């Protein structure tokens, strides 16, 4: 299943309490359960004014549907073309 990065513009999101973040996560999970296995939330990074979410999904339309149903913005959706890490630099034999 393709992997996507979703950029969500959310002013001051970095100031949310743990309880507020928990509530947002529960909202997301509830929508995901309704949508079924064509979309999976992997994890998210919360910064001062944005959340960057990593999802597996069948297509961009599933990401948009989840965002709309959950009431979250999805300002930019990017399909991941490759994943690299330090082991990518290692020579292969």
Q: Distance (Å, rounded) from C-alpha 81 to C-alpha 38?
A: 19
Element at 43 (helix H, strand E):
strand 39-46
- ∠ CA 59-62-65, nearest 5°, is 150
Residue 38 pLDDT > 80:
yes
pTM of the model: 0.90
Locate 57 and state its tokens: 């999904």
Locate 70 and state its tokens: 């959950």
Q: Distance (Å, rounded) from C-alpha 6 to C-alpha 73?
A: 9
**pLDDT at 91 (0 to 100):** 75
Mean pLDDT computed over 25-50: 97
CATH class of 3-82: alpha beta
Q: Distance (Å, rounded) from C-alpha 61 to C-alpha 69?
A: 12
Average pLDDT of the residues of the chain? 96
């Amino acid at each position: 299943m393709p992997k996507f990065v979703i950029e969500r513009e959310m002013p001051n999101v970095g100031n949310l309490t743990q309880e507020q973040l928990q509530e947002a996560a529960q909202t997301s999970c509830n929508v995901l359960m309704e949508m079924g296995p064509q979309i999976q939330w992997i994890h998210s990074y919360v910064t001062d004014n944005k959340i960057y979410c990593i999802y597996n999904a069948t297509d961009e339309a599933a990401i948009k549907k989840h965002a709309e149903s959950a009431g979250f913005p999805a300002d930019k959706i990017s399909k991941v073309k490759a994943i690299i890490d330090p082991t990518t630099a290692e020579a292969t034999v």
